Amino acid sequence: MFLTGNLDKIFITEILYSLIFFDKTGILRCSSPVDETISFYVREGNLEKILNPWEDLKLGSILFRRGYINEKELNRALKQQHELKKQLGEIFIQMNLLTRQHLTKMLRMQFEQIILRVAAFEESVFNIEEYPEEEPQSVFLFSKSEQNILGHVEELNSKVRRFKTISFQLPPNDTVLIRDNEILKASPKIAEKEESRQILKLADGTRTLREIRRECAYNTLEAQAAILYLYQNKIIKKKEN
As a residue count, the chain comes to: 241
Query: Among residues 172, 220, 173, which one has the least CA distance to residue 196?
Result: 220
177 forms beta bridges with: 238
Q: According to the model, what pLDDT value does residue 135 have?
A: 63
Pick the range with the lowest mean pLDDT from 79-88, 131-140, 163-172.
131-140
Q: Where are the domains of the chain?
A: 3-163, 169-234
Instruction: Look at residue 162 and tell me whether its pLDDT is greater than 70.
Output: yes
Burial letters 115-151, b for 16+ CB under 10 A, else e: bbbbbbbeebbbbbeebeeeeeeeebbbebeebebee
User: CA 75 → CA 60, 86, 90, distances in Å?
Assistant: 9, 15, 15
Q: Which of 45-54, 61-70, 158-167, 212-221 has the highest mean pLDDT?
A: 158-167
Beta strands, E only, 20-124: 26-32, 35-43, 46-51
Question: Which contiguous run of DSSP H or E holds residue 16?
Answer: helix 12-21
Query: Among residues 47, 48, 28, 46, which one has the least CA distance to residue 38?
Result: 28
Long-range contacts of 99-102 (CB under 8 A, 24+ apart): none
Q: According to the model, what pLDDT value does residue 137 have?
A: 56
Instruction: Look at residue 191 and tell me whether its pLDDT is greater than 90.
Output: no
Q: Which residue has the higher pLDDT, 103 or 135?
A: 103
Q: Which of 135-144, 167-176, 187-196 has the highest mean pLDDT?
A: 167-176
Confidence of residue 136 (pLDDT cuts 50, 70, 90): low
Confidence of residue 1 (pLDDT cuts 50, 70, 90): low
170 contacts 228 by C-beta, under 8 angstroms:
yes
Q: According to the model, what pLDDT value does residue 140 have?
A: 60
Read off the pLDDT of residues 214-238 as tens digits, 9 standing for 90 and up.
Answer: 888 777 888 999 999 999 999 999 9
Q: According to the model, what pLDDT value does residue 224 have?
A: 93
Query: Among residues 175, 169, 240, which one has the least CA distance to residue 210?
Result: 175
Tell me the CB-side half-sphere exposure of residue 89, using CA atoms within 13 A.
18
117 contacts 57 by C-beta, under 8 angstroms:
yes
CA–CA dist 109, 112 (Å, integer): 5
